[in-house]
Amino acid sequence: MEALSRHRYIRISSRKLKLVCDLVVGKPVGQALSILEFTPKKGAKFVSKTLMAAVANARDQQNVDEDKLFVKRATAETGPTLKRSLPRAHMHATPILKRTSHLTVIVDERAI
């Protein structure tokens, strides 16, 4: 039985978050958490937090042993973009796009 956790409206672009998600897909949960702990990227904190929530959902809702869990899928989709502008010379404005993303982590029990 798989369990999932979602973290929405994260203030980081999905492109940066996907790099971190690709590090942990297919790995056991313990190994994935240790990889995320030593990854020097901002997105590692968000993926780690969402992964621990997915493990807690699996443990509480389905009585699954945590040692048998692995990361089945971790995806980052684009969320809404906050549009701002910066005043420039000669009364022009430069657009600033503050991108957000939605993170989904799915864990499943490994069949041994």
**Domain CATH for 18:** 3.90.470.10
pTM listed for this prediction: 0.90
Determine the average pLDDT of the residues in 76-97. Answer: 96
Number of domains composing the chain: 1
Provide the 3-class DSSP secondary structure of residue 78. Answer: strand
- Determine phi and psi for 19, rounding to 5 degrees: -60, -40
**Is 111 within 8 Å of 72 (Cβ atoms)?**
no
pLDDT at position 26 over 70: yes
Q: Annotate 28-38 with b (16+ C-beta within 10 A) or e (fewer).
A: bbeebbebbee
pLDDT at position 112 over 70: no
pLDDT at position 110 over 90: no
Which domain range does residue 73 map to? Answer: 3-109
